[in-house]
Structure 1
Amino acid sequence: MSLNFSIIVPVYNRPNEIEELLDSLTKQDFSNDFEVLIIEDGSTEKSENIVEEYKSRLNLKYIFKENSGAGASRNFGMQKASGNYYIILDSDVIVPPQYLSEVNNALEINFTDAFGGPDAAHKSFTSLQKAINYSMTSVLTTGGIRGKKQAVGKFQPRSFNLGLSKRAFNKTQGFSKMKNGEDIDLTFRLWENGFGTQLIEKAFVYHKRRSSIQQFFKQTFGFGTARPILNKKYPETAKPTYWFPSLFIIGIDISIILAIFGYNQLLYFYGFYFLLIFLDSLVQNKNLKVAFLSVFTSLTQFLGYGLGFLESKFYPKKNK
């Protein structure tokens, strides 16, 4: 099967990010043709002028549509694409030069109708972005399963860096209307329809993520709200480990209450854990500021996901 890639990028009010992504796509060492579709999802800050600057260097299409959310915009882009294998990227990623070559090589060796790739922090990222990346990828946090084959039985691609064949899209109709967790929902439907998924470890992207603690909390809260919905929709996929962030946060509250009455053992456990986070991030990033911020981003990740999970579990009407 000859692969013809169509890269689909939904964008909403992020023209500067699109410029960085498009610039990185012009530097691919991939020799075959590929197309890029920028789907402007009802933005008030449009990317059209920036996209226009790159049309001489890329096979590039710009389509403006009414706001419908990222999932529907990805589906819209795949419907308009001319390729037979779609690559979904978030607008806040930068693609290394070897990305498309690595994807192509991996699919030629082991073809699957869907794939996912890891994310990493670029040297140009802010300290906070590097800390958020650490929290979302570290083996010491809930992000530890991301981008590691040995950590999961069957890999669940994420929408910031995801590939999908045309036939798989036609069969599943792509992303659902879920606001959060729509990529996991798609994975489960791919498996139900007999399509395989894989992690392509070398097909990583530099993922900027959110630029503030408040935005990161909101994002992880959304992730948390999605999991009980997915558990109810696909009960065979539910695991006790999904409760861990919520129990972790409840444990912190209990440790503080116990410390008031002179029982500090549990509080010491949490202190030791966050010290490990600090030291591990320091070793990985070789930066004291990033290591210090990693403690707060990891706590934010647990807090956001844990509270979102509990709200969705016990007050499901709020998340319909």
Structure 2
Amino acid sequence: MTAALPATRSWDSPWLRFAIRRTGRLLVSLWVLVTAAFLMIHLIPGDPVRAALGPTASVELVETRRAALGLNDPLWLQYLHYLGDLISGDMHSSMVSGLPVAQVIGDRLPATLELAVYAFVLAVVVAIPLGAGMAVLTRGGRRRPAELAFTSTSAVLAVIPEFLLAVGLVYFFGVQLGMLPVAGRDGFDSYILPVLSLAVGPAAVLARIMRVEMLTVFDADHIRTARAKRLPSWLITLRHALPNALTATITIGGLLLSSMVAGTVLAENVFAWPGLGSTIVHSILAKDYPVVQGIVLVYGLGVLVVNLAVDVLLAVLDPRSTIRES
């Protein structure tokens, strides 16, 4: 008799190992982020409370504020209190305004998310069809002038810093032409320049990657098989080539979205945008460390969530890579 093969154990499935591994990685990264935010206030030279209150503050006021913040306790006890406060949702209060840090972040976060999301959507909407179209046009070494123009222009746009691009947009469209507002968040027109300053560089990078991936897919065996079946070119491109070329584009796109969230710091200060980016700069200058800690946590958590979402999306689109990695 042939022995029956053992049934596959549910806990030994690649998808379960994938979920456990990604969850563990997220928890470790989150712990590192929280610890770094906690140590931030202790690594600053001097007394952070004295720096925040100024040199004219009385000794009694400084000691009272230190006691209120728990800075006189041992470091390990402060860390435990910090973790407990975060779990309970207490991020303390601003040293300057006295408002709860959670309220400050809640008031400013929507404006930052709008910039990052709108810029990312614009970059993807422009980059994917542009990169795919250039791959179709320049496949097999055709149209060399168009290829040279695309690669040169996209390379230049990709390396221009967002801050410099933002200043250039302000000067050209705001100062010289007077077409668009250059400060504030009031109406549709006020979104155009900040979103463009964040989207142009990532769009150029994604378009270049999309073109390279499409050219690689066009040389694959399944594409040659589809051509041998005399399928229409548009069907081959849309159904067979494009989905396979999106994997690397999604990976880089997730990294670019993370960088866009951080890039809003510069864009918001150029355009006087009332978001977390301008708030963290003002808080650093005012030495308002609880607000700085809270915003650093939000930015870091946003990056971790984006990376996790990209991992899950790639696993869904290409389960074989997940199984191989497991």
TM range (shorter): under 0.3
* TM-score normalised by L of structure 1: 0.23
Higher relative contact order (CA 8 A, sep 6+): 2
Indicate the structure with greater helix content: 2
* TM-score normalised by L of structure 2: 0.22
Larger radius of gyration: 2
